[in-house]
Amino acid sequence: MTPCLPVCLSCFFARPAATAGVSGGVSGNGVGRLAIAVAVLAAGVLHGAGRASAATFTAEHGDIGVAYDSATAPTEFEMELHVGQGGVVDGTTITDADGQAYEPDEIAIGVPAAANLRRINNPTGVWGGTADGYDFTGSSYDGMGVAAGGNLWVLSFDGTDADHYGTPFLGWATEEGFAGENFTTGVTLSVSSFAGPSGGTMGVYTALGSNQWLLSNGDTDFSGDAFTIGTDAHLHRVLMFSEPGSYLVGINASATHATHGLVSGSAVYEFSVVPEPSGLALAGMGLAAVGVAVRSAGRRRRG
């Protein structure tokens, strides 16, 4: 997915008729057009491809949560993102002891630049709570489409790792409203839709490297992308991303209840993988280019 710019940038660069006293170069109007164009581009870079209204969860513990209320919706699950006490959303720390629940379309899960562990064998890297190293070069990760040594943004299954790399510690939970309910199956989390950046792939793996979801931009068949967790349970997985940008994943939760039959719910979650250099850096480069153009135009006019 690419940022949507609601203007035609070529219109800004259309060169006006020559003005008396100015021969070639960038006219005053041209500089103005260039400045506006760069500002629009910078806005597009900074906004990215995600949902404009979304906040961003950036640190500490949070869960993709499935909630159940048999009294009000006996055949429906409610999907949420629950950020625990101490979690950070848009720079603000959650202080409530019960944490904060968000509708999935209200918030994105941030994957920072520091999560780029690369597809390498790092014998001293922090993984699984120790500095005994990690190895992402095995064939089980080939589906990510990343060459050896290439960029690979990773959210670990381990809280110590998350603290070390400064990433969210993301879990999957069925802990709200399930106690005492008679479900005859676990809750299956499957994929119903996927859209990512150009060339982007997202993978969900167990701690031992067994693939459970493998999603590539353009995929329409998600029949093999599913895993099951118990009711009133909680677990963690490894998440991997091959490209910076926004990943929108439709997640469906389903289980069978002894009394109510099939219970299900779905929502679209956003993962925002931060590129290097950052949007701010790119914007700064663009604005610097405007400054160069203005100074250059000024020199030509004085000549």
pLDDT tens string 202-240: 999 999 999 999 999 999 999 999 999 999 999 999 999
Lowest mean pLDDT among 9-18, 68-77, 85-94, 255-264: 9-18
Tell me the pLDDT band of 51, cut-offs 50, 70 and 90: confident
- Do residues 203 and 82 both lie within one domain? yes
Give dist(CA 93, CA 141) in Å, integer. 34
Predicted TM-score (pTM) of this structure: 0.77
Tell me the pLDDT band of 49, cut-offs 50, 70 and 90: low
Host domain of residue 183: 55-277
pLDDT for residue 260 is more than 50: yes
Mean pLDDT over residues 11-26, rounded?
A: 40
**How much of the chain is in helix, strand and coil states, percent to nearest 5?**
20, 35, 40
Residue 161 is which amino acid?
D
* Structural domain count, the chain: 2
pLDDT of 172 reads 98
- Do residues 41 and 91 both lie within one domain? no
- Do residues 62 and 102 both lie within one domain? yes
pLDDT of 47 reads 39
Mean pLDDT over residues 65-89, rounded?
A: 98
pLDDT for residue 11 is more than 60: no
Evaluate the CA torsion angle 178, 180, 181, 187 in order and state its sign.
Answer: positive
- Do residues 105 and 19 both lie within one domain? no
- Do residues 215 and 287 both lie within one domain? no
pLDDT for residue 131 is more than 60: yes
Q: Looking at residue 142, what DSSP letter applies?
A: G
What are the residues facing 57 on neighbouring strands?
Answer: 89, 109
Give dist(CA 213, CA 205) in Å, integer. 7
- Do residues 35 and 117 both lie within one domain? no
pLDDT for residue 80 is more than 50: yes
Mean pLDDT over residues 258-274, rounded?
A: 97
Which residues, 6 or more positions from 102, have their beta carbon under 8 angstroms from its beta carbon?
55, 57, 80, 81, 82, 83, 89
pLDDT of 167 reads 98
Mean pLDDT over residues 178-194, rounded?
A: 97
Tell me the pLDDT band of 53, cut-offs 50, 70 and 90: low
Buried b vs exposed e over 71-81: b needs ≥16 C-beta within 10 Å? eeeeeebbbbb
pLDDT of 10 reads 40
Q: Looking at residue 114, what DSSP letter applies?
A: G
pLDDT for residue 301 is more than 70: no
Mean pLDDT over residues 87-114, rounded?
A: 97
User: Taking the C-alpha atoms of 232, 172, 56 and 79 in order, what is their torsion angle to the nearest 10 degrees?
Assistant: -60
Structure tokens at 223: 């029949």
- Do residues 80 and 185 both lie within one domain? yes
Structure tokens at 234: 């909680």
Mean pLDDT over residues 187-198, rounded?
A: 97
Give dist(CA 190, CA 220) in Å, integer. 13
- Do residues 31 and 77 both lie within one domain? no
pLDDT for residue 26 is more than 70: no
Give dist(CA 93, CA 96) in Å, integer. 9
Is the residue at 1 inside a domain?
no
pLDDT of 31 reads 45
Distance linking the first and last C-alpha atoms of the chain? 46
- Do residues 92 and 113 both lie within one domain? yes
Mean pLDDT, rounded, of the chain: 83
pLDDT of 275 reads 55
Query: Which residue bears the tokens 């960029």?
Result: 151
- Do residues 148 and 133 both lie within one domain? yes
- Do residues 244 and 101 both lie within one domain? yes
Evaluate the CA torsion angle 219, 227, 172, 184 in order and state its sign.
Answer: positive
- Do residues 290 and 179 both lie within one domain? no
Which residues, 6 or more positions from 277, have their beta carbon under 8 angstroms from its beta carbon?
none
Quick one: which H or E segment has residue 34? helix 28-47
What are the residues facing 202 on neighbouring strands?
Answer: 215, 241
Tell me the pLDDT band of 52, cut-offs 50, 70 and 90: low
Is the residue at 3 inside a domain?
no
Give dist(CA 171, CA 153) in Å, integer. 17
